[in-house]
């Protein structure tokens, strides 16, 4: 199979496009032909070695996909020909390629009438947003939430989900992205390049923090007493609150079929829409990672494989 992989940690130029062996389904697994995969911030951080060094080479990045089942292992509850999508189990990566073997239990059937591109564009970001907003923050109707980095994939999904819940949504975004996040449903938009967000918003019930660094630690300043903040920026654990009357939370993003079905239902019901997409051929994954690494991304970066 064709794949994009690396044999050592480093910058974008360590990525190679070439042939690697086809996978084989084990017990409880399927093999799927990948049609679409997405590029996420975690991918280039793994490539850089920002996390723990990977255990083996060659290493293929990628955490989610949509495709068609071609082989079914013992105990797996799909059939050859089923269209499936999902996020790989924790500890497994490898979707920048033409085929994947993974647990059937983390995958769901692709909704009829929804393209591989659209469903994969919301799979990982939707999983993260649903767990963070619905389960971790337990956002309620009438509450005010600040969502940091509103033009990003996870934050963009979270804006729409929070509006569906009935919250008042404040978000941060550069001026060029104001129309975009307003279209997602944001009630108030703060230009982080021109305004200190801690001076522009206060008395929030919740903060969903996707940026990290100083932005994360200062997010406590906009919470009302009893407020809570959830942090997902990679490499940033839940910081200690700067006040003792607020909560710092770290979502535990598990991966299994019910979450994928929840994301698919939100899309089919029109609660959320597919984000703005930039699409690359598999062999051009290095260009997609460079854009992701720049941190100036609107919507989602996608790899079209078939």
Q: Between the CA of residue 216 and those of 209, 234, 242, 260, what are the distances in Å?
A: 6, 12, 11, 28
Q: Give 273's contacts (C-beta < 8 A, 6+ positions apart).
A: 160, 184, 267
Q: Are residues 300 and 190 in the same domain?
A: no
Give the C-alpha separation, 205 to 147, whole Å: 11
Q: Give 18's contacts (C-beta < 8 A, 6+ positions apart).
A: 2, 3, 5
Q: Is residue 31 part of a domain?
A: yes
Q: Is residue 256 part of a domain?
A: no
Tokens of 69: 């089942």
Q: Is residue 268 part of a domain?
A: no
Domain that holds residue 177: 125-249
- Longest Cα separation, the chain: 58
Give the C-alpha separation, 252 to 240, whole Å: 17
Q: What is the pLDDT of residue 48?
A: 96
Q: Are residues 67 and 53 in the same domain?
A: yes
Q: Is residue 175 part of a domain?
A: yes
Per DSSP, what are the bridge partners of residue 67?
Answer: 34, 84
Per DSSP, what are the bridge partners of residue 302?
Answer: 38, 279
What CATH code is carried by the domain that includes residue 66?
A: 3.90.180.10
Q: Is residue 76 part of a domain?
A: yes
In the three-class reduction of DSSP (H, G, I as helix; E, B as strand; rest coil), residue 258 is classed as helix
Q: Is residue 27 part of a domain?
A: yes
Q: Are residues 105 and 217 in the same domain?
A: no
Q: Are residues 214 and 245 in the same domain?
A: yes
Give the tens place of pLDDT for each residue, 71-108: 999 999 999 999 999 999 999 999 999 999 999 999 99
Q: What is the pLDDT of residue 233?
A: 80
Q: Are 219 and 190 in contact (CB under 8 A)?
A: no
Q: Are residues 156 and 169 in the same domain?
A: yes
In the three-class reduction of DSSP (H, G, I as helix; E, B as strand; rest coil), residue 205 is classed as strand
Q: Are 189 and 171 in contact (CB under 8 A)?
A: yes
What CATH code is carried by the domain that includes residue 141?
A: 3.40.50.720
Number of separate domains in the chain: 2
Q: Are residues 33 and 110 in the same domain?
A: yes
Q: Is residue 261 part of a domain?
A: no
DSSP-derived secondary structure letter, 52:
S
Q: Are 204 and 182 in contact (CB under 8 A)?
A: no
Q: Are residues 50 and 113 in the same domain?
A: yes
CA angle centred on 5, ends 284 and 56, rounded to 5°? 165
Q: How many CA atoms lie within 13 A of 294 on its CB side?
A: 10
Backbone angles phi, psi at 132, to 5 degrees: -70, -45
What residues in the chain have per-residue pLDDT under 50? none
Q: Is residue 48 part of a domain?
A: yes
């Amino acid at each position: 199979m064709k794949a994009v992989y690396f044999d050592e940690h480093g910058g974008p130029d360590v990525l190679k496009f070439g042939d690697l062996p086809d996978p084989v389904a084990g017990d409880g697994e399927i093999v799927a032909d990948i049609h679409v995969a997405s590029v996420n911030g975690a991918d280039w951080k793994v490539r850089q070695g920002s996390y723990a060094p990977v255990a083996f080479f060659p290493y293929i990045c990628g955490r989610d996909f949509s495709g068609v089942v071609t082989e079914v292992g013992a105990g797996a509850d799909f059939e050859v020909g089923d269209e499936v999508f999902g996020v790989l189990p924790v500890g497994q990566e490898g979707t920048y390629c033409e085929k994947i073997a993974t647990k059937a239990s983390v995958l769901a059937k692709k909704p009829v009438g929804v393209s591989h591109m659209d469903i994969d564009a919301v799979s990982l970001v939707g999983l993260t947003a649903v767990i963070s907003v619905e389960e971790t923050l337990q956002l309620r109707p009438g509450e005010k939430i600040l969502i940091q980095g509103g033009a990003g994939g996870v934050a963009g999904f979270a804006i729409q989900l929070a509006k569906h819940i009935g919250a008042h949504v404040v978000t941060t975004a550069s001026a060029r992205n104001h129309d975009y996040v307003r279209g997602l449903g944001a009630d108030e938009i703060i230009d982080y390049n021109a305004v200190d967000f801690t001076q522009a918003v206060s008395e929030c019930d919740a903060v969903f923090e996707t940026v990290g660094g100083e932005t994360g630690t200062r997010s406590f300043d906009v919470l009302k007493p009893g407020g809570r903040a959830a942090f997902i920026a990679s490499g940033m654990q839940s910081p200690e609150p700067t006040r003792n009357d607020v909560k710092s939370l770290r979502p535990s993003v598990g991966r299994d079929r019910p979450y994928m079905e929840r994301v698919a239902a939100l899309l089919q019901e029109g609660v959320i829409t597919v984000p703005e997409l930039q699409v690359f051929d598999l062999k051009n994954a290095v260009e997609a990672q460079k854009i992701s690494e720049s941190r100036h991304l609107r919507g989602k970066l996608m790899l079209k494989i078939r």
